[in-house]
A and B are shown apart, each in its own frame.
Chain A
Amino acid sequence: MKDLCVPIPNFGDEEFAELELKIGKKKIKYSFRVVSFPWDVEDGLLVSGDELEISLARIYRLKKEIEGYDKNWELIQIFNPSENADHIQVLYRKK
């Protein structure tokens, strides 16, 4: 067994999930955050609105948000957004 999948309820952007794993007497603590960044939003980046421009605008927004995010947290995973989602979820782990 390599991974344990732990179901967690939805939690707010400003909250974080803490997991504590105990193996024998050893405790390992993890802190995770799932953050939502803007993906398909009206922010004045689009001029023509063609597919390529929309795609580049999404990546630009995502890069900017990741660059500006709290450096005490490291990016673990970017989740594929669902169709027509206006935000994209990103998983961070406390360094």
Chain B
Amino acid sequence: MIKTIELTKVFRTDEVETTALNKVNLEISNGEFVAIMGPSGCGKSTLLNILGLLDNPTGGQLFFMDNEVSRYTERNRTNLRKSNIGFVFQSFNLIDELNVFENVELPLLYQKVSSGDRKKRVEEVLDRMKISHRKKHFPQQLSGGQQQRVAIARAVVSKPKLILADEPTGNLDSSNGEEVMNLLSELNQEGTTVIMVTHSPTDADKAHRIIQLFDGHIVTENIKQKI
């Protein structure tokens, strides 16, 4: 699904040049669950943003579903992203002014899905995430665990092939964190590829493979289980 060849990202200001990713070679297959770990500032989120087509690398190549996308324009990246990738963030990133139903509906609006289909799909996914009883509530009226379930519902409502999760349990207690990890594992078992950045060894244990990143380099890969 994803392949990088010498993927590099350099951030430049007038005075400083920082290499966030240094010739990263990586291959992720369909259906894999991969955890990316490493200390703060090692390039984890930069890598996730580039793999998720939110940012372009400054060097190297990135293949997404067999297309070389590293030089895609913003518009092309957006088109590829909205039909193939779902994002889950540590701080949920729900829109406070929209209720639960409307937050989850949003990706389908961008995809111009018909109103009837949208209603059906949003209700299905809210049922699945056990949050349909809160569909008229606004994010601020929900607990952290409920907000993350809504965020996962929003990430999966468009049936993406890939879910990218950046510290998905970072703001949750152990019980809600475990629930979120179980949901990600379930989605992976149904065929969705999952790439997750985490500091938690317990969460990383759910992955097939753990990649340790340091100073913009992959220093080791630990295969936990074959897919």
Contact = CB atoms under 8 A, between A and B. Distances in A.
Interface of B: 37-42, 169, 172-174, 177, 199-201, 212, 214-215, 217, 219-220, 222
Given A1-B174, A76-B201, A80-B40, A55 B215 contact: yes
Interface in A74-93: 74-80, 93
A66 B39 contact: no
A58 interface: yes
A5 to B, nearest CB: 13
A80 B212 CA distance: 13
B227 to A, nearest CB: 19
Given A59-B217, A78-B219, 10 more contacts: A1-B173, A1-B174, A3-B174, A3-B200, A58-B215, A63-B219, A63-B220, A78-B42, A80-B39, A80-B41
A78 B41 contact: no
A62 interface: yes
Interface residues of A, number: 18
Given A77-B201, A78-B219, A2 B41 contact: no
A74 to B, nearest CB: 6
10 contacts: A2-B174, A58-B215, A63-B220, A66-B220, A77-B37, A77-B201, A78-B42, A78-B214, A78-B219, A79-B39
Contacts of B37: 77
Contacts of A63: 217, 219-220
A78 B199 CA distance: 11
A67 B215 CA distance: 17
